[in-house]
């Protein structure tokens, strides 16, 4: 389930620190509601997994469990230095990342951002009617924290962004993630309590099609890979096979170059080279923009390395030799049928691992 226009899912499909952080935030929430000191421990563990998730989750937990007022949050925010002016290359890196800027969102993404607030208000009324005082209080405060979080995030992303690069890079609209998790849990609870109850056929009628639909969508999204990649299982994806060959057969400190948009190539299925090959490569135009967004000082080198590989599909031996001379690139990964003049000790149906002479 996507979280409005934030480019996040409730939980990631792969093993991501954000999944652990989400679980630890839920533990912290329960501990905070019970006013137990272990709350700080869970927040600390969350921060070790994902610092921004910890910061945004703590914002909601503080209002949820201990109470707060909109003025307090705004005053705290106003007291933080606004940072340094954005450099033009950083702006270029952020140009393809519309999700940190809520004013560029489509209407349905804004509907997704505001809908949980309405549902929390509705659930609070149900809690009041049914005598569930704690549930009513939690829903009311989540409505407040979500509303306040959106206001602060919009101010930071849209009104401060022309003057500073400090706030947009932290993608403050992702403060919606924690309310979405709570919204889904509460909605499931309400559905079970008032509609499904103990009717096994209704449960099956809902969740079997839901599971099958999710399975079908994931097969469409990653068609060249196993649905579940068990540890120790040989990869099915041709790109991953090449990456693993690189790990086992090339010098440890070898520098590689790939198409800056290689993750979007047919059959690639969004696998990262560095994680599988355990080798360095020139910056890409996909995941490395995330690093540039958070650390603007990297923008100049990122832009240089990406720009030098424009028109990668038309590269010849001369272009690869230029990369070797300028950056020290010794190896490249190219798609079939390869490039004349390169020595390629490994090849499969999709790609070739080649050494620049």
Q: Distance between CA 351 and CA 121 in Å, rounded?
A: 54
Closest CA to 260 of 250, 276, 248, 273: 273
Domain boundaries, the chain: 17-220, 238-355
Angle at the Cα of 212 (from 207 to 217), degrees rounded to 5?
125
pLDDT at 84 over 80: no
pLDDT in tens, 132-176: 999 999 999 999 999 999 998 888 777 765 555 556 677 888 899
Residue 202 burial (10 A CB sphere; 0-12, 13-18, 19+): middle
**Higher pLDDT, residue 36 or 297:** 36
Q: Distance between CA 43 and CA 74 in Å, rounded?
A: 22
Q: Distance between CA 261 and CA 357 in Å, rounded?
A: 24
Closest CA to 12 of 27, 26, 4, 22: 22
pLDDT in tens, 295-333: 888 888 999 999 999 999 999 999 999 999 999 999 999
Q: Distance between CA 245 and CA 95 in Å, rounded?
A: 35
- pLDDT given at position 2: 83
pTM of the model: 0.79
């Amino acid at each position: 389930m996507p979280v409005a226009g934030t480019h996040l899912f409730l939980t990631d499909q792969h093993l991501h620190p954000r999944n652990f952080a989400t679980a630890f935030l839920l533990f912290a929430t329960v501990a905070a509601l019970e006013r137990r000191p272990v709350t700080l421990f869970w927040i600390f563990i969350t921060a070790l997994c994902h610092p921004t998730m910890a910061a945004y989750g703590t914002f909601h937990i503080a209002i949820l469990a201990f109470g707060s007022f909109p003025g307090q949050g705004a005053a705290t925010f106003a007291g933080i230095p606004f940072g340094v002016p954005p450099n033009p290359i950083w702006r270029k890196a952020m140009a393809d990342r519309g999700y940190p800027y809520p004013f560029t969102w489509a209407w349905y993404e804004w509907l997704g951002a505001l809908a949980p607030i309405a549902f929390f208000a509705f659930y609070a009324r149900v809690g009041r009617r049914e005598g569930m005082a704690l549930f009513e209080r939690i829903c009311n405060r989540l409505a407040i924290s979500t509303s306040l979080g959106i206001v602060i995030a919009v101010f930071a992303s849209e009104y401060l962004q022309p003057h500073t690069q400090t706030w947009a890079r932290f993608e403050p609209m992702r403060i919606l993630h924690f309310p979405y998790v709570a919204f889904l849990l509460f909605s499931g609870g309400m559905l079970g309590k008032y509609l499904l109850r103990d009717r096994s056929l209704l449960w099956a009628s809902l969740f079997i099609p839901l599971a099958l639909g999710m399975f079908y969508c994931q097969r469409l999204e990653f068609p060249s890979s196993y649905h579940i990649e068990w540890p120790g299982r040989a990869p099915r994806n041709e790109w991953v096979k090449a990456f693993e060959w690189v790990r086992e057969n090339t010098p440890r400190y070898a520098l590689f170059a790939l198409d800056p948009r290689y993750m979007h190539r047919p059959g690639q299925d969004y696998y990262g080279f560095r994680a599988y090959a355990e080798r360095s490569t020139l910056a890409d135009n996909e995941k490395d923009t995330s690093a540039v967004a958070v650390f603007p000082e990297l923008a100049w080198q990122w832009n240089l390395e990406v720009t030098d590989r424009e028109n990668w599909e038309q590269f010849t031996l001369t272009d690869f030799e230029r990369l070797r001379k300028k950056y020290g690139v010794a190896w490249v990964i190219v798609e079939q049928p390869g490039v004349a003049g390169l020595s390629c000790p490994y090849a499969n149906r999709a790609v070739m691992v080649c050494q620049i002479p």
